[in-house]
Structure 1
Amino acid sequence: MGNHVRSPKVPPRRYTLQSRADKQAETHRALARAASELHHTVGPSRTTISAIAEKAGVQRLTVYRHFPDEEAIFTACTAYSFELDPPPRPDTWIGIENPQERHRTALKQLYGYYRRKRQLLANLYRDAEMPVVAAALERRRTLLQRAAEILHAGWKVRPARLRFFSATLAHTLEFSTWLSFAEGQGLSDAEAVELAVSLVTSSAR
């Protein structure tokens, strides 16, 4: 009988653990997507655990298991958003020798990003009093400072105009500047870029 009676096959433990890990990763991504969409529409300060759970189709407890605090939610949202649409990388502009063309290239990328992320960025600046948002905006400030340093190279600026030039260049990189050009003045992104480049060029003289 021993040859005919066999124990039922049991899936290897490794397979079971991998399936569980895959399911957890899938749930985590769904929650990150839900939270990211809420950050884009209503903003971080109005993104609740209940809203994330409802949007992802899970229980509140599931959200807490994956995101125990605001920082975990914000980190997951940022990672998800950057995976889909990463912000421009200033270091990629270093190889452009002509300073006007370098600035123009940078602004085309920045202003395009601002248009795609318009509501999210507006929500972040509105919710700047939240510690996790304040930290993210500080990192953004650091990135824009790095961008300004890269774009500053190669311009011929009279010493007496240096501070004015630096302030003008840095100002053209800001989200608020694009917002004023695009929505306040009704310019297209291409028009906004050319205006910004001309302002910086004039400020160097």
Structure 2
Amino acid sequence: MKRAEEEQQTRARIVDAAEVLHAEVGPAHATISAIADRAGVTRATVYRHFPDDESLFLACSGQWLSRQRLPDPDAWDVHDDPFAVLRSGLTDIYRYFRDGEPMLQSVLRDTAAVPARITQARLAREREWRDRLTRSLPGRRRKTVRAAVAHAISFHTWRSLCRDQRLSNSSAVALMVAMTAAATENPLRSSVDPG
């Protein structure tokens, strides 16, 4: 019984170390040696618990996600106004981006080092966000409207607006809602969206 508890604690220390290093230096630079050092174990111990990088990354990702308050698309649909839905969704997404910024920035920067299953799950979440936010917008079938929403829900857009340009989350949300509203009206249709 004690041995099993010790093994579980060792595994938890390894996952914690991987999570910290993934946020601090990124998955591409979080070597097994660095993770072992941070966890206070040997590389062999890491490999005994996680036989490959993907199994360790999946455990780390699962733990990190379980500690986050993820965006909740079901909570966005309480409004009749599609722009209120958009505002609610972007507010939720931007809160998540701000809360999870170090990890999200590192993982997106090091996408090539991230297992395909993790990347596919992230992209599926983003498609769900886009689909939920566009489904009641006027002109939702137009390329420009879908592009405006996809741009608005991008972590890179949030980072540009809130970090580089120093907007508050609420100001960034207001700007992206206004941009999307302009895309739905599409006053420049002939030059912007020929289809």
Q: TM-score, normalised by structure 2?
A: 0.86
Partner of 2:62: 79
1:126 matched to 2:126? The reply is no
2:152 is the counterpart of 1:199: no
User: How many residues of Structure 1 are paired with residues of Structure 2 in the alignment?
Assistant: 185
Deviation digits for residues 145-195 of structure 1 (CA, Å, limit 9, x no counterpart): 111111112222387xx2211110111001111011112222111110111
Unaligned runs of 5+ in 1: 1-15
Question: Which residue pairs with 1:163 in the alignment?
Answer: 143
Assess if the C-alpha contact under 8 Å between 2:140 and 2:146 holds in 1.
Answer: no
Counterparts of 1:30-179 in structure 2 under 5 Å? 30-130=13-113, 132=115, 134-157=116-139, 162-179=142-159
The match for 2:191 is none
Q: Name the structure 1 match of 2:5.
A: 22
Name the CA distance, whole Å, in 1 between partners of 2:105 and 2:43.
Answer: 28
Cα separation, 1, equivalents of 2:149 and 2:43: 46
Q: Distance in 1 between matches of 2:92 and 2:64?
A: 17
Q: CA deviation at 1:144?
A: 1.0
User: Offset of 1:201 from its aligned partner?
Assistant: 1.4
The answer (yes or no) to whether the contact 2:126–2:153 under 8 Å persists in 1 is: yes
User: Residues of 2 paired with 1:96 and 1:32: CA distance?
Assistant: 40
Q: Sequence identity, in percent?
A: 34
Q: Is the 8 A contact 1:97 1:154 kept in 2?
A: no
- Counterpart code for 1:163: K
- SS for the counterpart of 1:44 is coil
